[in-house]
Structure 1
Amino acid sequence: MSGSDAAPDARVARVVVGVSGSPGSRTALRRAVAEAHHRQAELWAVLAWQSPGGELHARRASAAPLADGDWENLARTTLVTTIREVLPDGPGVPLHAVLTRGTPGRALAETADREDDLLVVGAGHRGHLHRALHPSVSRYCLAHACCPVLAVPPSPLEADLAAAHRRNVWRLRLDTRHFTKEATPPDA
C-alpha cells in the first residue's frame, strides 16, 4: 500500500470566482470566500483581460499605445490589489490567483470545468444601453458552465453609490472661496 490512502483521482473541491475590481466582483469575491469555507474548497480568483478593442484589433494595430505586456501587468496589479483590499487578512482557504487572456465569461466557464466546481459571478444591475454594448458575463456563465453557477446580486450600497455619483455629475463646481478666508481669532 502506498503512503497515501486517498484515491489517485480524488480532487479538491474548487470555488471559482470572477474578479475585475468592480464593486460587483468584490461582492462576489466575499461570497466565494464564504462558499469555499463552507465547502472546504480551494478558492480560484480569475481575472480575464483583453487588449482594448479586442483580440482582432490588437492583431491589426501597428502601434498600440500600450503593449500587451503592459495590459497584462495592469490586469495582474488589478487582481492582486483587489484580493488584498477585499481580503486583507487572507481568505483562510487555499487561494489560486489566475490571470488569463480572453473574454471574462469564456475564461470563467473554461476554468470552472468540473461538474463539482462552483462558479461565483457578480450580477449587477445593468441599463439597456450597457446591456447592448457589453455582453453579460453572468449570462454567459449561466449558459455555458458545466457546473453550478452562483450569480451574486450587487450590494445595496452599490446602488446608493451610483445614485450619489449621478447626482454629483450634474452639480456645479464647488465654491471654495469660503475656505480661503482667513479665520478671525476669537475675542479674548
Structure 2
Amino acid sequence: MTGQRVVVGVSGSLASLAALRAAVAEARESGRELTAVIAWETPEGRALSARNCNQEWIGRWREEARGRLEQAFDEALGGTPADVPVRKLAVRGKPGRVLSAVAAKEGHVLVVGARAEARWAPVRRYVRGHVQCPVLTVPGLVSPKRVVRELRRVAAEDFIRI
C-alpha cells in the first residue's frame, strides 16, 4: 500500500476524536500511513492578514493549531501510536478545502467526524463533493452538554487499570 494513506480531519471536537480513533484502526488494518490534518486560519481570515502580513502573528496561530493536533492525539489515543506511521499536518485554510487537497490522490481514504445532531455540515458536504476517494464519516458522541464538559476533563491516565 505504498503511497496510500488514511487522511483524517482533526479539530479537537469529540466527533473528530472519534474519527481519529477510527482512522488509526483503519491505518492499522490496511497497512497505510495515517495523515492527521488540522486546518487553521488567523481570526481575521486570509484576506485581512495578507494585507497586514505579520509573520510572527501567523506563526503563533500555526503553533497553536499544531498544539491542538497534539492534544487531540493525547485525548483520543493517549499519545501518538507507535505501531502506525503517522504524519501530522497543520495547514492554513478552510477545513473542507484542506482535507480535499490532502486526500486528492487515488487510493487514499478520508475520515471525518460528524456530530449526529448537526444539520449543517459544511465540511462533510464539501469533501463529499470534491474528493474521489472513499469518505468514512464517524459519528461523534451524543450526550448532554454537561456530560461533554465533564468528559473533556478526563485524561487517558484516568482509564488505566491498576
| TMscore range, shorter length | 0.7 to 0.9
Give 1:164 deviation, angstroms.
Answer: 5.0
Higher RCO by CA contacts (8 Å cutoff, separation 6 or greater): 2
Residue in 1 that maps onto 2:76 = 86
1:71 paired to 2:84: no
Residue in 2 that maps onto 1:104 = 95
The aligned amino acid for 2:138 is: V
Q: Please give the TM-score of this superposition, normalised by the length of structure 2.
A: 0.80
Give 1:56 deviation, angstroms.
Answer: 1.3
Distance 2:92 2:148 in 1: 31
Equivalent positions of 1:1-188 (< 5 A) are: 11-60=2-51, 67-88=57-78, 90-91=80-81, 92-126=83-117, 131=120, 136-155=122-141, 159-162=142-145
What is the number of residues matched between the two proteins?
Answer: 147
Question: Do 1:115 and 1:148's aligned partners in 2 also have CA atoms closer than 8 Å?
Answer: no
5+ long unaligned stretches in structure 1 = 1-9, 167-188
The aligned amino acid for 1:139 is: R
Question: Do 2:17 and 2:75's aligned partners in 1 also have CA atoms closer than 8 Å?
Answer: no
Give 1:101 deviation, angstroms.
Answer: 0.7
5+ long unaligned stretches in structure 2 = 150-162
Query: Residues 37 and 62 from structure 1, CA distance in 2 versus in 1: closer, same or farther, beyond 3 angstroms?
Result: closer
Give 1:61 deviation, angstroms.
Answer: 5.2
Kindly report the root-mean-square deviation, in angstroms, between the aligned alpha carbons of the 2 structures: 2.4
Question: Do 1:13 and 1:39's aligned partners in 2 also have CA atoms closer than 8 Å?
Answer: no
Identical positions, percent: 41
Distance 1:18 1:127 in 2: 17
Give 1:84 deviation, angstroms.
Answer: 2.4
Question: Do 2:12 and 2:69's aligned partners in 1 also have CA atoms closer than 8 Å?
Answer: yes
Give 1:136 deviation, angstroms.
Answer: 1.4
Question: Do 2:73 and 2:79's aligned partners in 1 also have CA atoms closer than 8 Å?
Answer: no
Query: Residues 93 and 62 from structure 1, CA distance in 2 versus in 1: closer, same or farther, beyond 3 angstroms?
Result: closer
